[in-house]
Structure 1
Amino acid sequence: MRMRPTLHWTPPEDLPPGTTDLEPVADALGTGGVLVLSGAGISTESGIPDYRGEGGSLSRHTPMTYQDFTGSAQARRRYWARSHLGWRTFGRARPNAGHRAVAAFERHGLLTGVITQNVDGLHQAAGSDEVVELHGSLGRVVCLSCGAFSTRQELARRLEAANAGFQPVSAALNPDGDADLTDEQIGDFRVVPCANCGGILKPDVVFFGEAVPPRRVEHCRNLIHEAASLLVLGSSLTVMSGLRFVRQAAEAGKPVLIINRDPTRGDRHALTRVALPLGTALTTVAGRLDIPVGHGAAT
């Protein structure tokens, strides 16, 4: 189950310190067989905020839970109003140097795949093909009654038509794609039903309080089993959805390498934690391996 996020996590004083030495990361990638596990930190340079860290959204925003969404029409109205506004910005986000470097490593056969905790689709937009979206994608919508899928672009058009003139100004965008709005700004925002059966529409993402599909988890566990090492990019590993894979790799004797500016809950299991910005770190490693980092695929 994806638990409600912890607002604050205080790293123990005896955690291994971070470093700026990228040599272990370059060595692992040069050897190949690396599985990437990415978190919100890899997308901050694309304008999508992180949950934690400096300025993290959890200091002012609590993400929607599955129980709230399914149990309250008002909660769904609040979610879709905020998410509809946020999508106007979120949907325009483009891959940054970190995403492009990951795609370049994949093109050169150094990766066995990417597991991402993000729902922004930016790995794929950068050109990565072997991506497991652990928590789903905001680019898809699913009906909770009939199971029909549709695109977020289609839903956006329907919501625009149903809410002509909805143009509130938001104070901030959140990592889950919604925008901060007051109840007054939300007003009588109209939520549209499934075009197929009239059921409740939900973004195809794993809300907090909702379980990641077991087959997806098992697939990720198999990827860990097959990989030579695990490279964690921009994840605090505060919740178990990502930490379990770090623990699995460490228990199997596979090197775990982390690039994250702040301490993480996986640091005890890691060979190293590089405390550098991801775009800088990954493009530096790509340069050492003579791998060009392009501009990514257009979306």
Structure 2
Amino acid sequence: MSGDNRHNVPLSSTMHAALKGIGSAPGEAMLIRMFKQERQLEVWKRSTATGQYRLLKTYEICAYSGDLGPKFREGDRQSPEGFYTITPGLMNPRSNYHLAFNTGFPNKFDRAYGRTGSDLMVHGDCSSRGCYAMTDEGISEIYALARETFKGGNPSFQLQILPFRMTAQNIAANHDNQHMAFWKNLKEGYDLFEINRTPPVWDVCERQYVFNVAANAPLNAAGPCPSLNRSAALVAKTQADEVKVANILAGRDKAEAERVAIAQRGEAVSTAVNGFFGGIGSIFGGKDAGIVPVMTGKAPPIPMPRLNRG
């Protein structure tokens, strides 16, 4: 790898223009959100003027391993989900997959559940065995944005890895999934970013994520949580989404009940018609008894006159 300088490729003029367009700069803080189901990675940058974050660019995720849901153990070929903190020490300028950064799995939450795994990366080469793979071009740009963020004096950036966009529609579509309790926990952090456009500060207590908790020291991951004061905006959004989910599920239940009722009525009519024509056949008897005539809706053919063979 001697002389390889791919990790120091400068940002393009197009990217500088995009940063300026959202009121940001290369050295400003950043955040990355990833969505498995949508196969998207978003880079957000802090606005110099407002301090809020604005979406800079969305990249396609080439590949990830496993299904929706968290990673549990080394070798399960499952890509992780959760909230992670990326520091300069997690950046890999000499990756065998072009460029990469480590997700930081297992984090404090993962370790509280005894989850294991190593070298879970976001990298290039468009190939995954438990990681998130981007195109080489994509990871080059993402890596450069992270590099400039660190150069700007930011000690880290937040990585949010989510199963899907946490909308009421997606929650309803997966309401019976075994991971729903975990996903609702992640949704709180997702919602806080949607409301405030600033990364929520996360920690772990009682083996769950908690956000924006006022504490003088890191929490005990397995210990009791302090008093949690959720903002009025978060409570309102949570309640509104729960109502939407309930309405979606109720609508689906009603539609399914109507579908079943229609099918049952059709089956009953078919049985009655078959029984009626079967009864007629049994009355007249003979070799055609029990045969139900076919109802085609067409007029019967006109008989041809007998041939006069005399």
Scaled to the shorter chain, the TM-score interval is under 0.3
Larger Cα-atom Rg: 2
Q: Taking CA–CA contacts closer than 8 Å with sequence separation of 6 or more, which of the two structures ends up with the larger relative contact order?
A: 1
The two structures have a TM-score, normalised by structure 1, of 0.23
